[in-house]
Amino acid sequence: MNMNVRIAAGGELWRQAQVARELGSPFVGAVLEASHRQLGNAPLTADFISSWADDPSAAALAMRFNAALHAIARRGFQPELAALYRGEHADFDGAIGATLAAEDRFVAEWMRHTPQTNEVGRAAAIATALMTARRKIGLPFELLELGSSCGLNLNLARYAYNLGGMSAGDPSSPIMIEPEWRGDPPIHAPIEVVNSRGVDLNPLNACDEATRERLLSFVWADQPNRARRLEQALAMARIHTPRVEKGSAATWLSERLLEPQEQGICRVVFHSMVLQYLTMQERQLVLDTINDAGARATRERPLAWISFEWTPMRDEVQVLLTCWPDHETHLIARCHAYGNWIEPVGRVLTPESLLERLRYSRLKADYYVAA
């Protein structure tokens, strides 16, 4: 194997190891660092990473790789790797090196598929934006989600939230989402959803065991609370089945926003960590579609857009809310990528700052850092 290929591929794993540590996962950081050193044992995987034509960070290749190892550990294919993940030893290089040699084809094939984390923790930030929209507009919501995966966040009105000591959502829910809240609690407003549906290129079924295993493999192994919450959300989705349709985000959204909107309902488009998987052309089409729908919005049939994404400069995750017909954009909060903490901002953005964000988003192809 070409040594330069191994180094180039491994470099992405090493870089994302530092990102994982910054996001609060020392275990995943150690896994990716060992994988950087051991990647020579997996020539198919190394070639796949190094030959990726676009930005590997935007495509979350390291997170795909990490999930493949976690899947192998969960299935018990490699006993030493499974023992490492259970915390029974700390020989990262030994266990991972042997696994890569034995499971190279499995890892390379797993990485061909786009990550679908369906992180329920992000629902708290989206719910905070919905409460802001409710206070401004005063109407219940129809939700349209892009990149829904299994559709777990379409059930966000069925979850309970503790947002800096302020309770929101459904108080009877078995699912409690309580991020670290870094600021004053938000002002309460009802989260009333009358209809919700989403789209994904590959919709997942909460009743399918393979779906459950794939989603759990993307949860970092040293964050059991996230895994437990995901299990609870999957159980709820088996009772209250989200409506997720198969299709491309831009085409589906264009069709939905041209459908008649009921008077007295606020239509909401939302997405979390989705834009990085769209091409520049697709992102622009989504933006144009939303803006065109916003231009048609009225007081009786308003539109809101909630975005939970990395900034174009990739320095932080922001939650943005734009409401029409006023066409006013709020920076609701800065967040952890998986919603572990939320720092409320509550600032209206100026047209100049929005144009600057748009300019960077059009120029930068390497849009985001992590899935």
More confident residue, 356 or 115: 115
Q: What is the structure's pLDDT at 294?
A: 95
Give residue 364's identity as a one-letter amino acid code. Answer: K
pLDDT at 351: 63
48 CB-contact burial (10 Å; exposed 0-12 / middle 13-18 / buried 19+): buried
Binning pLDDT at 50, 70 and 90, where does residue 58 land?
A: confident
Query: What is the predicted pLDDT for the residue at 363?
Result: 35
Task: Specify the pLDDT at position 117.
Answer: 81
Local confidence band at 275 (pLDDT 50, 70, 90 cut-offs): confident
Q: What mean pLDDT comes out for the span 255-282? A: 94
**pLDDT score recorded for residue 128:** 98
Place 228 in a pLDDT band, splitting at 50, 70 and 90.
very high
Percent of the chain with pLDDT over 90: 79
CA torsion sign, 153 to 284 to 245 to 111?
A: negative
Q: Is the dihedral of CA 204, 303, 285, 317 positive or negative?
A: negative
Res. 9: pLDDT tops 60? no
Average pLDDT in the 46-63 region? Answer: 89
Per-residue H/E/C for 54-112: CCCCCCCHHHHHHHHHHHHHHHCCCHHHHHHHCCCCCCHHHHHHHHHHHHHHHHHHHCC
Q: What is the pLDDT of residue 313?
A: 75
Domain boundaries, the chain: 3-110, 120-363
Q: Provide mean pLDDT across the span 56-67.
A: 91
Between residues 89 and 357, the one the model is more confident about? 89
**Residues in CB range of 359: below 8 A, 6 or more apart:** none
315-353 confidence digits (pLDDT tens): 899 999 999 999 999 999 999 999 999 999 988 987 655
Kindly tell me the sign of the dihedral angle through the C-alpha atoms of 82, 84, 89, 92: positive
The answer, yes or no, to whether residue 365 has pLDDT greater than 80, is no
Q: Out of 69-73, 301-305, 313-317, which region has the weakest mean confidence (pLDDT)?
A: 313-317
Per-residue model confidence (pLDDT) at position 27: 97
Q: Is 22 helix (H, G, I), strand (E, B) or coil?
A: helix
Q: Per mean pLDDT, which range of 8-12, 131-135, 295-299 is the poorest? A: 8-12
- Spatial CB neighbours of 90, under 8 Å, sequence gap ≥ 6: 84
| DSSP letter string, 128-154 | HHHHHHHHHH---EEEEEES-TT-GGG
53 has pLDDT over 70: yes
Q: Tell me the DSSP string of 233-249.
A: HHHHHHHS---EEES-H
Name the pLDDT band for 364 (thresholds 50, 70, 90).
Answer: very low
What CA–CA distance (Å, rounded) separates 245 from 148?
9
